Every structure is written in C-alpha cells, then in structure tokens.
A and B are shown apart, each in its own frame.
Chain A
C-alpha cells in the first residue's frame, strides 16, 4: 500500500537575488514499512530535504503528501496533530537533548506537548515501554540520569525513544549515527533494523555513509547538489550502480583490507562546487569522466532505466 510523499520542486534561497538551490526538484514516494535511504555528501541537500518532508522548514515550491493527504497546506494546529505520526531523530546526540532534562522528562515531553500524558502512572508506563523498545534500562536509576551522564550511544537511544514515544508511523532519521563510534554505531543500526521489523516503522534514513544505508534500507536515493541522480533497490544501487556519481561514491569507500588499486581513478576529479554557483547542464558533469557535449548543456531528468531503477543521466 502506498503512503507518503511526492515532493516536487523545492528550493531554498538565501540573500538578495542569490539562490542556494538546496533541494531542486525532488520527487519520490516511500511505501509503508519501508526504510528509504537518502544518501549524499554534504551540500547534497539531504538534510534540507529531511526538514522539508516534516515541514520543519517550508518548501519554496512543491507538495508533500502523507497518507494521500497534502500536508503542505495544513495550518499550524492541523500540522501539530499530524506530528504525532511523523517524527525525527537528530544527528547530534550531544546537542539534541535538553541538558537540563533528565531521561524521563525528555521522553515524556512529547506526550505532554500533545496532551497524551494521562495520569502519572500511565505516563510512567509509556516511558518505560519506550525505553525497553530502544533497549535501555527502564529503571528509575536510569530515567533520573541527566544527558551528561550518558554515553553517546545511550543519548542517541534516548533521542530515538523520544521520537517513538508517540507511536509515529513515520520517522526521519537524519544521520543518526554519524557522530558515534564504530561499535556503538553498529548497535544503533541494528536497533533501527529491529524496530523496522518489530513495529513496522517506516523511515527515511539520511546518511553520507552509503555502506550504512545498505544495512538498513530497502531502497536508496542518491542525491547530488539538490537533485536525485539515482534511485533503486539497495542491492542494485550498491552492487550495480549506474550513475557515474553513484559509482564514484562506491569507488571512494575504502575496503577493509589494503588495496593498492583502490580509488586509483578518483584522484583528480575535483570537489563539490559550493554555494550558489551550479554547473550548467548536468550538475555532475565537471567531475564526470564520461561527460559529453549534451551533459554540459542539458540537465538530465530522472527516468526509469530498468524496472524500479531510476537514473538521471544522458549516457545510459
């Protein structure tokens, strides 16, 4: 069953007459129960996209549909009600928790904000259940801890608990593990995979680490400078990448064994353009080893090349 978002042209501008086209014409859908990966380097627009989906920032153009309902035109109180169903897990576990609230208060807060707290014992029960869901101890000694008494992994689990306590259908996870250590990352990633199975959580998983997206996600969209350049199943994107940028990303990932040939063709491909200066034609062409004349003049549209595998490229 389909659910969620066709999101069309959206851009953000900053400053007079100068546009940073952070998200520039993105459309996709996320199915119920799906883990949808959005992969891109910094400057790709993925974090902006994450906030747009939840209307934490407003699109310049375009629509977001949640359960076949256009949420872009809802007013504040309608949107607030909807937020019970749509939540976010933030990237930085060190700044996303209120340092003056203990674990219990942090997780209870969404219930209070949405007037779903009930009486004291109901509230306690809900908080404890959510803690168990994220594999944290539901004991009083734990819930009375303050954020600075928690490890990075524990903080992030509290952040996840806070996102889940209202029982949302959909969660956006914005780089949820990028600030955590390797072995801690693995724990959080495993937790998210479990949650997906246990409670049928639908999620948009935003990351710059394509390897992580592979572990959690069913489908992956690869973003570059505000647009989606490739979209397909996680298996196909990782094992049969079609777009030159996706291939570049895959090539750049260092393997876990020494390889002299690794990244040998990456060396002189330049870096991401910054700010408002976008290349004309295909945005990737200055860094593309296969660029042709048409690539410099005309921007390619995202089109279905193989079944359920989309790519924005003139050359395929």
Chain B
C-alpha cells in the first residue's frame, strides 16, 4: 500500500485571461521510503504539484482530484486538521534556500520557530533538536548561531533540509533543491538526501528539471509536460528505455559527457499555453512521431512494461 496516492489532481490558477490549467489530471504514487523524481521544464506544473500537496496554492485552487497520505485525505480535511499534518507528516524544502531563509534571524532560531509552530516544546528542547538536525545534515551544531549570510549556499540548503526534517515527517518534497548550487555542492547535497532517505526510511518527492540529478536521487521518475504526466517508471528503466517521445527528446538534450561522442539534440517549438492547450495530446505540435489520432484524442496513461506507464498513442518500443 503506497504512502502517498495522488489521483487525477487538477489545479488551476484563475486569471483575467482564463483558467491556467497548470496541473490537469496528474496521478502517481510514492511508497514508504521511496524517492520519486518529478521532471519537466518550466511551466510543466511540477512546482504546482508540490504546492498542491502542501495546500499552499495562491491565486488558484485544486479543482479536482484526491491526495491520500498514509490513509488521510489531505484535500478534504479542514484547515485546522491539515495544519497538524503539514510539517509533521509532509514537509517542503523550497528552491534557492538562501532566499527562503530570513536574513535577520539565526539559523537555529528559524529551525526552532518551525518546530514550535507545530508542537508544544520548550525553547531549550527545540534548540537541542535543532542541533541534532544540523548534525544530521552534516553541519556543525554550533553553526546554529550563525546568520544565513555566514553560511555558504550549500549549507543554507542543508539547513532548509534540516528544517523540513524537524518533526520526522513521512514525506519530504524537495523543490529543485540543488538548482542554485555549484556542481560540487550539488553532488554533496544529493548524496546527503539519498543517505537521509535510506537512513530514515524517508519518502521523498524530488522536483527537478535536471534528469541527471534525478538519475542519482530518485528510485522512480515521473515526466511532466504541460500539466500532465506523460511517463512514469523506475529510474533505470525510464532512462534506458524511454517510451514517450518527449522523454526521449528531453534525454537527448542533456550533454552526456561521460559517454563518447558529442551529440545534443534540440526540441523545436515551446511548451503550450495552458489556458488553451492543444487538442488531443498536448505534446503533438512538437512531436516528431505525431499521428492523426494524437491531434484529436488525449492518450491515457497505460502500463506498457512492468511498472512503466506512458501516455502516448504510439506503440511502445523496447529500444
């Protein structure tokens, strides 16, 4: 039984131009102790998925769908009840940590604040917990007395991870946790997240536009395009045998210097307008293998290989 089941999630933002269908029928599951990567380019809806899970959507709302976390229906519960769930069972590591931290408070104060906003403990207890958490993310606990500007970007990001772990959640959502970091620091943070996942049997949803990052950080990957999931599968299987033309195009656009030969392929066009998305399959205007049916009928997610799902009218291939 999965820890998290998201079923037919639709989150729209309401603007003067009309409803932006940012997440438009997304379903996936995450098992206990498993890491799911959500990959896609800007505007595909991946951050909106994260915010929907945390009930932090502004300027819009979840219009349909269900989110079940450990048997609890997150969308249906009243706000007060959800406030107990948020941070205790599910938490968020936002992008660009240096900007998410308050510059005029010490790191320790901010972790303590997060703890005491959700549980009744004394300040000394919360400070002790903060020290423990910093140690867990490989920061010397004495740094709790530092301000964000006294820490490097990588340390700030790790401090945010510590904050997300403060109440021992079952699921942590990491939204582009390494995007603003240098490649070496990125490697350190990714390895840390993997260790935490395994050591704490933590479930993680890892959001990134960078497939090579997800290759290292997640057990399964979901590819999103224009508000929809187009492919979901185990990491190795998805990367080795991508089924969806968009996944293939995305893979082809990453410089892979560890293999031989210099090849990089571009995908023409750009992602569609989500107020009036294309009919049928949303990817069809840019798809190199488009068929007639693709312009009319939206493909459903089907299991084409064991535990490997694709939304595409084209027949699946093994190569």
**Chain A contact residue count (CB 8 A cutoff):** 44
| Chain B at the A interface: SS class | helix
A54→B186 CA distance, assembly (Å): 31
Give the segment of B47-55, B85-93, B161-169, B249-257 that binds chain A: B249-257
A263→B265 CA distance, assembly (Å): 27
Q: A187-B266, A274-B152 are in contact. Are A256 and B183 (CB under 8 A)?
A: no
| Cβ A252 vs Cβ B187 within 8 A | yes
Which residues of chain A are near B265, meaning CB under 8 Å?
186, 190
| Cβ B186 vs Cβ A252 within 8 A | yes
Which residues of chain B are near A187, meaning CB under 8 Å?
266-268
- Residue of A186, A214, A269 with highest tally of chain B CB at under 10 A: A186
Give the segment of A108-116, A120-128, A138-146, A176-184 that binds chain B: A176-184
Which residues of chain A are near B190, meaning CB under 8 Å?
254, 263
A198→B258 CA distance, assembly (Å): 28
The one of B42, B235, B257 in contact with A258, judged by C-beta atoms closer than 8 angstroms, is B235
- Residue of A184, A208, A209 with highest tally of chain B CB at under 10 A: A184
| Cβ A183 vs Cβ B41 within 8 A | yes
A154→B187 CA distance, assembly (Å): 31
Which residues of chain A are near B185, meaning CB under 8 Å?
271
Determine whether B216 belongs to the interface, using a CB cutoff of 8 Å to chain A.
yes
Which residues of chain B are near A184, meaning CB under 8 Å?
41, 266, 270
CB distance from B286 to the nearest CB of A (A): 9
Which residues of chain B are near A259, meaning CB under 8 Å?
215-216
Q: A183-B267, A184-B270, A262-B216 are in contact. Are A256 and B191 (CB under 8 A)?
A: no
| Cβ A186 vs Cβ B267 within 8 A | yes
A83→B144 CA distance, assembly (Å): 50
- Nearest to A214 among chain B residues (CB) is B257
Which residues of chain A are near B152, meaning CB under 8 Å?
271-272, 274
A208→B183 CA distance, assembly (Å): 8
Give the segment of B60-68, B206-214, B292-300, B303-311 that binds chain A: B206-214
Which residues of chain B are near A252, meaning CB under 8 Å?
183-184, 186-187
Q: A181-B42, A215-B262, A215-B264 are in contact. Are A238 and B252 (CB under 8 A)?
A: no
The one of B184, B209, B258, B268 in contact with A182, judged by C-beta atoms closer than 8 angstroms, is B209
| Interface hits, B261-301 → A, CB 8 Å | 262, 264-268, 270
- Nearest to B256 among chain A residues (CB) is A256
Which residues of chain A are near B209, meaning CB under 8 Å?
181-182
- Nearest to A153 among chain B residues (CB) is B270
The one of B42, B212, B267 in contact with A256, judged by C-beta atoms closer than 8 angstroms, is B212
Determine whether A297 belongs to the interface, using a CB cutoff of 8 Å to chain B.
no
A184→B269 CA distance, assembly (Å): 9
Determine whether B236 belongs to the interface, using a CB cutoff of 8 Å to chain A.
yes
Q: A186-B264, A215-B262 are in contact. Are A254 and B42 (CB under 8 A)?
A: no
Determine whether A151 belongs to the interface, using a CB cutoff of 8 Å to chain B.
yes
- Given contact pairs A181-B42, A259-B216, enumerate 10 new A-B contacts (beta carbons under 8 Å): A183-B266, A190-B264, A209-B255, A211-B254, A215-B264, A253-B257, A254-B213, A255-B216, A266-B184, A271-B152
Q: Which residues of A are at the interface with B, using a C-beta cutoff of 8 A? A: 41-42, 151-154, 181-187, 189-190, 208-212, 214-215, 238, 248-259, 262-264, 266-267, 269, 271-272, 274
Between A and B, 19 residue pairs with Cβ closer than 8 Å are A186-B265, A187-B268, A189-B255, A190-B266, A238-B257, A249-B183, A251-B187, A254-B186, A256-B211, A256-B254, A258-B216, A258-B236, A258-B239, A259-B216, A262-B216, A266-B188, A271-B152, A271-B154, A272-B152
